[in-house]
Structure 1
C-alpha cells in the first residue's frame, strides 16, 4: 500500500487530515519545520512519523499532499514533481475524499472551528462519523456515514468542495491580502453555495447570507423571529446559557450550552438545525451541553486569583465577541486583554475597528504584530495601533510582570500567531 506523505503536516488542517487517513488504515507520514507546534501532539499519539524538511524524504511509492502555505519552489514539492508522484494540494485531496460520505462543510468568516467541533461532537455521540476540525483535530472511521469538515474561504479554497450540506455562519471582510472587499468575499460564498448538493444551513441574522441564491433548500437560523429556527428566552447562569428553540414559530425544545455569548448560541442553532433536518431527536441534539470546546477557542485555566484565557481571535468582530463572552461569564471581574495582531495587511485594513473592539476591555496590552510568510514587511508597527487606544500599553518579555498587578481578574490572550509564548512566559513567571 502506498504511503501518504504530508508536506507541512503540522498545519491545522493538514494534521487533522493526516489523522483521518491514519485512522482509516492508510500508512501516513509527513514533514515540517522542527519548531514545536501544538498540533503535533495528536500526530505523535497516533505514531505518525514527522520528519524535518528535506528533498530526501521524497521517494517513489509516495502519494504527496502539500499544505497551501508552501509554494511550488519548496524543495520537497519540486522533487515530488520531478519524480512524477501523485500530487495533491490539501483542498484538492479533501475535495475528492469527502465523496465517500454524507458531507457537511462548515464555512463562514467567523465561528467555523467552534461550529465544526460542536457538530462533530453531537453526531459522534449518535452515529459513525469522520471529522476534520481546524484546530488540528481529525478522526476517521471506515464505516462513517457523515463527514464533517471545516471549509476555509481563503483564496477560494472551499470551491474545491462539492458537499452535500453547507453550514454558513456569516460573511465578513477578512483576508485583505487576497479579497478586494466585502463584495469579493460575498461572491466567493455565492460560488460555494452553487456547489452544495442537498441543502444550506445559514445564519439569517447576517444580511449577506440573506442575499445568497441557491439551487437547494436554504434553512435560516438566528436570534430574529423571522428565521426558520430561532432562539428565544435566553437565560444565563453560572453553568452557561439556556434558550428555547422555535421551528417556524412553533416551540421545539429547550437547550443548554456550557458557553457564553450570542455567537455561541448561533453556533449551537446551526448544529440544532442541521441535526433536526437529518432526523436526529432533541434528546440526541442536547449532547451540545457536554461539548468542552475546541483548541485555542476560549481555553481557560485558573492560576492563583486570575483566570487565563487563550483565544484565536484575530479579526475585530472576533475580538469583540470574545470580550463579550468573558464579560458574560465573569461579570464581576476586570477583563484584561493581551492582543497580538496577525498579519500586517489585516492590522492596516482594520486599524480603527481593532481599536474600537479592544476598547471594550478594562485594560489593554499590545504585542508586536505577527507577520505572515505570505506578505512583505511594511513600516507599520504595533505603536500605530497603540496610538488609537488610550491607556493601552505595549507588552514584551521584559515587562510581562505588569500582568500580575491585575488581581482577581480575567486575562484574555488573543491572536492567531504565537501569542501563546507570552502566556507561557507569564505562567512561568508567576
Structure 2
C-alpha cells in the first residue's frame, strides 16, 4: 500500500494499545488521524492531547466527511463487535478498509523488521530492545504493546540519518494477526496457550508459530528462541536462563534491593548487569533483548548504559507506593503463568509480607479454560479480592463467572467484589502489600488506591 496517497486515517477502536501506536505513527507523519473508541481512558486522553480527534459515541452522523473518500484508510481491530454501527457502515461503504495487523505489515514490508512474539514477555522484550536501539543511536521505529516509562508512549521514534531504518513490532498471535508480518529477525519468547477463542488446542498454536517462522525473510532471516520452551526450529539462535546456549544469563542475585546478573554471548561474559525489572521470568525477556542487540553488533558499553537507564513499562511490576510498612504494586498479569511468576517475584523481593491480591479475570473463554490453573496460582496470595470477569470482546458464557472460579480457590480469606466496592473492602483488610492484577479496566483502581494509601499511611 502506498501511504503517500493516503491523507486521512480513521481508527475504529483507536484506544487499543496496538491501534494507538499506529495512530501516533501516522500522526507524526503529518497525516490527519481521527478515531472512535467506546470509553475515554488515560490513553485516549493522551492521544487527544497530541492532536488526534476521538469520538466516543457509536453514531454514523458524527463520522468525518472524508471518511468514505479514496484518500482515507479505515483501520479496525478484530475486537470490534460485529453489531457496531460505525463498523457496519464503514465496512460496507469505505473505500480502503484494513485490519490493524495488515496495516502494520504494510508499514514494515520494505524495511528491516524485527518481530517479537510469544504468549508471555513480548512487551517487556520489545520495549527494552526498542530502548537499547534508540539509546544506541539506531534509526528505529518501535510499535509497543505497552507504555514505555522512558518515552511515555507505546511508540518509539528515532529519526536519524545514519543507517537503514529498523522497524520493531510485537507479533500478536491473536486472530492469527502475526501471519501478516514478514520479519527479517523474529523472537518467540514462549508457547503457552492463551487466546482460546483462536487456538482451542495447543497444537493449533504451535502450527501458527511454525507458519510465522516460515515468513522470516532475508537479509538476516534469523529466529531467536527460548531454550526452555519445547519448540525447535532449524538454524534458530537459542537464548536461555542458566543453560549454556548461544546466549544465556545466570548468577542472578540481589544486592541492596537491586537485581543483577551475568550475561554470556557466544564469545564473552558480561558481568554484573542490572536487571531493570525484577524476577526470573523477566531475566528471560532481558536475555532475549540482549541477545538480539549483540547479534546486531550494538556495543557492550551501549547495552549496559541502556539497562541502567531503562525505567520499565507501565503496568509491568509498577510500584506505585512504598513506605516502611506498606507497598502497592500493579501488574498486567492476566494468565496463570504470569500470576505465578508475579507473586513469586513479589515474595522474593519482600519476604514474609502479607499479600492482598486484587484480580480481575479477562475474557470468559480464558477464565473458563484456565479455571483450575487460575485457582492454584491465586492460592499463593494471603488475601484475595476477586472482581467480576472483564468481557472485552466476548459475551457471557453459561456457567462461567467469578463465583465459579472463587469456589475452586482453596484459601480462607477470599471474596468477590465489584470494581466500585474494592476500596471499602481494602480498608478493612490487614496486609503489607497490595497487588492489583489483570488486563481489563482494573487500572482505574490505581489512582484511588494510591491516594488512599498516601492519605492513611503518608
How far apart are residue 375 of structure 1 and its match?
3.6
How far apart are residue 335 of structure 1 and its match?
2.0
CA distance in 2, matches of 1:303, 1:242: 21
Is 1:41 matched up with 2:45? yes
Q: 1:384 to 1:79 in 2, by over 3 A?
A: closer
Aligned residues: 424
**TM-score, structure 1 normalization:** 0.92
Is 1:401 matched up with 2:411? no
Q: 1:404 to 1:303 in 2, by over 3 A?
A: farther
Q: Which of 278, 287, 297 lines up with 2:316 in the alignment? A: 297
CA distance in 2, matches of 1:59, 1:296: 37
Q: Which of 264, 270, 279 lines up with 1:246 in the alignment? A: 264
1:139 corresponding residue in structure 2: 156
How far apart are residue 135 of structure 1 and its match?
2.0
1:130 corresponding residue in structure 2: 141
Is 1:350 matched up with 2:370? yes
How far apart are residue 169 of structure 1 and its match?
0.6
What pairs up with 1:211-360 in 2 under 5 angstroms?
211=232, 213-214=233-234, 217-248=235-266, 250-286=268-304, 287-302=306-321, 305-360=325-380
Kindly indicate whether the alpha-carbon contact (under 8 Å) linking 1:344 and 1:378 is maintained by their aligned counterparts in 2.
no
How far apart are residue 309 of structure 1 and its match?
1.5
Kindly indicate whether the alpha-carbon contact (under 8 Å) linking 2:276 and 2:312 is maintained by their aligned counterparts in 1.
no
CA distance in 2, matches of 1:225, 1:303: 35
Secondary structure of the residue that 2:298 maps to in structure 1?
coil
How far apart are residue 406 of structure 1 and its match?
5.0
CA distance in 2, matches of 1:163, 1:157: 13
Unaligned runs of 5+ in 1: none
How far apart are residue 88 of structure 1 and its match?
1.0
- What is the Cα-based RMSD across aligned positions, in Å? 2.2
Post-superposition Cα deviations, 1:283-312, rounded to whole Å, max 9, x if no partner, equal 111112321111221122116642222211
Kindly indicate whether the alpha-carbon contact (under 8 Å) linking 1:225 and 1:249 is maintained by their aligned counterparts in 2.
no
Kindly indicate whether the alpha-carbon contact (under 8 Å) linking 1:104 and 1:166 is maintained by their aligned counterparts in 2.
yes
How far apart are residue 202 of structure 1 and its match?
1.2
2:209 corresponding residue in structure 1: 189
1:362 corresponding residue in structure 2: 382
Q: 1:81 to 1:379 in 2, by over 3 A?
A: closer
1:90 corresponding residue in structure 2: 100
Post-superposition Cα deviations, 1:138-179, rounded to whole Å, max 9, x if no partner, equal 134555721111111012110010011111111001111221
**TM-score, structure 2 normalization:** 0.86
CA distance in 1, matches of 2:346, 2:59: 44
CA distance in 2, matches of 1:84, 1:302: 48
What pairs up with 1:412-423 in 2 under 5 angstroms?
412-423=435-446
Kindly indicate whether the alpha-carbon contact (under 8 Å) linking 2:355 and 2:431 is maintained by their aligned counterparts in 1.
no
Kindly indicate whether the alpha-carbon contact (under 8 Å) linking 1:221 and 1:229 is maintained by their aligned counterparts in 2.
yes
